[in-house]
Amino acid sequence: METLKTFYDLMFQTRDARRLLVLDCLENKTLEHKDILPLKQALATLEATPKKENQYILKLEGEKTIALDLSYEIDELKKDLLFLEKGEDALLKFLENIHADFETQIKSVVSALSAKKFHTLITDRDGTVNNYCGRYASSIQSVYNAVFLTRFAKKLDNAVILTSAPLRSIGLVDISVVPQGAFIHAASKGREYINKKNKRCHFPIKEEKQKKLDEFNAELSSLVKNPQYAKFALIGSGLQFKFGQTTIARQDITKSIPKDESLRFLKLVENLVSRIGNQKQFFRIEDTGKDVEIILTVENVQSGLDPKDFDKGDGVAFLEKHASLHMAKGGNLICGDTPSDIPMIPAALHYSNDTTAIFVSNGNEEFEQKVKRLYPNTIVVSTPDILVTALNALARD
Ligand SMILES: [Mg+2]
């Protein structure tokens, strides 16, 4: 593996292999060496990539290179191989070794919730039920993670993954390995989703405005096909087509793009926006320094909210209505790990007081205190591994 492109290709090969492995594991099939081989080979390839101070060096176009932290990709492959070759107990032992108070935390979740009957799960993905990865496009879900979550989902009426990331190309459905129909995959904070019958549904948006965004997306896609700009689709957040919004990276956390080059690219995107539509009438640009967000300035016909004000609580309400979750039935479980996930709690409480929240702190004590101050009954665990293991344990009870 030499280039960034071959790295992504390799990760998508592990996704395809993982999807088959998840089905086999859920059916308790005996796995053969050849089924696990693609993951073994992928791990060996990643580990053989040239390294410089804990960063892996990959080629971009020409002589240029990029340094990446591949700990998510490597660690998740190692955990999967342990799970697949040595079994669930071996994986749990390993997790116990790498996470402080692993068993105590699992036990406290299980003892608090084992008597409860859950009907609906709505959970954030990254940092909540999936470990964080520096690049969205290579954050392929691991086998053990998908197996644990699916076992829990099977006990429910509805299980929803609700992310602010896009749905497709590249989005939530591209990096998930759970069986089709096990989850409703909701993206762009819930404004678009794939239902259990594999149909895409979305929030209403005016045709004229959608056309402008489609036009912009097509132009931006061809821009980043130009070898000179291809790297911007491959670093950090990359290129993401969200509902009513497009994200293109101009920098990543390791600052792999020289400052001048990053600013020149920003200018190019801004020019493209003004060429396609009068900026104020159609688009709003937000530049975070790492990502450029191009947002359609649609007024939300249904709720009267500006799309920038649409939060995950609105996403929950939209899904309740359109995906028929029947949350008034109670037994609602909400999971998240950042302030943007908190609005899902009152949204669920609006339908039923029988709502439980489990949040993941990822070591952020300030956030832990914030969520507990707002919703004192919230259960807090420290990592996604602990949350998914606890859900797996609850499914087996
Ligand atoms: Mg998150």
Instruction: Give the model confidence (pLDDT) of 305-323 as tens digits.
Output: 555 568 999 999 999 999 9
Q: What percent of the chain has pLDDT over 70?
A: 96
Compute the average pLDDT of residues 196-219: 90
Question: How many angstroms is it from 187 CA to the middle of ligand 1?
Answer: 12
Question: How many angstroms is it from 68 CA to the middle of ligand 1?
Answer: 21
Question: How many angstroms is it from 40 CA to the middle of ligand 1?
Answer: 29
User: What gap in Å lies between CA 136 and CA 234, rounded to an integer?
Assistant: 10
* Lowest-pLDDT range of 91-105, 281-295, 344-358: 281-295
Cα 214 off chain centre by: 23
Question: How many angstroms is it from 338 CA to the middle of ligand 1?
Answer: 6
Question: How many angstroms is it from 128 CA to the middle of ligand 1?
Answer: 6
Question: How many angstroms is it from 166 CA to the middle of ligand 1?
Answer: 14
Question: How many angstroms is it from 145 CA to the middle of ligand 1?
Answer: 16
User: What gap in Å lies between CA 192 and CA 3, rounded to an integer?
Assistant: 33
The model's pTM is 0.89
Q: What percent of the chain has pLDDT over 90?
A: 78
Question: How many angstroms is it from 267 CA to the middle of ligand 1?
Answer: 30
Beta bridge partners of 284: 295
Set out the domains of the chain in order of their start, with CATH numbers.
4-203+309-396 (3.40.50.1000), 207-296 (3.30.70.3080)
Question: How many angstroms is it from 165 CA to the middle of ligand 1?
Answer: 10
Question: How many angstroms is it from 95 CA to the middle of ligand 1?
Answer: 20
Question: How many angstroms is it from 337 CA to the middle of ligand 1?
Answer: 5
Tell me the C-alpha to C-alpha distance, in Å, between residue 78 and each of 94, 102, 116, 130.
10, 19, 34, 15
Instruction: Give the model confidence (pLDDT) of 258-272 as tens digits.
Output: 999 999 999 999 999
Question: How many angstroms is it from 295 CA to the middle of ligand 1?
Answer: 21
Query: Is residue 81 within 8 Å of residue 39, measured between CB atoms?
Result: yes
Question: How many angstroms is it from 6 CA to the middle of ligand 1?
Answer: 27
State which amino acid sits at residue 103.
E
Question: How many angstroms is it from 106 CA to the middle of ligand 1?
Answer: 20
Question: How many angstroms is it from 25 CA to the middle of ligand 1?
Answer: 27
Question: How many angstroms is it from 190 CA to the middle of ligand 1?
Answer: 14
Does the pLDDT at position 29 exceed 90?
Answer: yes
Q: What are the structure tokens assigned to 28, written together?
A: 């308790």
| pLDDT at position 296 | 84
Tell me the C-alpha to C-alpha distance, in Å, between residue 169 and each of 109, 217, 238, 251, 282.
36, 12, 11, 20, 23
Question: How many angstroms is it from 311 CA to the middle of ligand 1?
Answer: 13
Does the pLDDT at position 304 exceed 60?
Answer: no
| pLDDT at position 9 | 95
Question: How many angstroms is it from 102 CA to the middle of ligand 1?
Answer: 20
Query: Is residue 268 within 8 Å of residue 222, measured between CB atoms?
Result: no
pLDDT tier at 196 (50, 70, 90 boundaries)? confident
Question: How many angstroms is it from 127 CA to the middle of ligand 1?
Answer: 4
Compute the average pLDDT of residues 191-214: 90
Does the pLDDT at position 278 exceed 70?
Answer: no
Does the pLDDT at position 173 exceed 70?
Answer: yes
Compute the average pLDDT of residues 94-122: 97
State which amino acid sits at residue 37.
L
Q: What are the structure tokens assigned to 291, written together?
A: 């990502």
Compute the average pLDDT of residues 25-48: 96
Question: How many angstroms is it from 222 CA to the middle of ligand 1?
Answer: 30
Compute the average pLDDT of residues 81-101: 98
| pLDDT at position 301 | 47
* Lowest-pLDDT range of 163-177, 203-217, 297-311, 341-355: 297-311
* Entry field: residues in the chain: 397
pLDDT tier at 179 (50, 70, 90 boundaries)? very high
Question: How many angstroms is it from 27 CA to the middle of ligand 1?
Answer: 30
Write the secondary structure of 297-363 as one string of H (helix), E (strand) and C (coil). CCCCCCCCCCHHHCCHHHHHHHHHHHCCCCHHHCCEEEEECCHHHCCHHHHHHCCCCCEEEEEECCC
Does the pLDDT at position 232 exceed 70?
Answer: yes
pLDDT tier at 297 (50, 70, 90 boundaries)? confident
Tell me the C-alpha to C-alpha distance, in Å, between residue 269 and each of 41, 66, 175, 206, 285.
39, 22, 27, 23, 10
Instruction: Give the model confidence (pLDDT) of 43-57 as tens digits.
Output: 999 999 999 988 999
Question: How many angstroms is it from 336 CA to the middle of ligand 1?
Answer: 6
Does the pLDDT at position 42 exceed 50?
Answer: yes
> CA dihedral defined by 342, 102, 108, 369, rounded to 10 degrees?
-30
Question: How many angstroms is it from 339 CA to the middle of ligand 1?
Answer: 9
Question: How many angstroms is it from 131 CA to the middle of ligand 1?
Answer: 9
Compute the average pLDDT of residues 127-147: 94
Question: How many angstroms is it from 383 CA to the middle of ligand 1?
Answer: 11
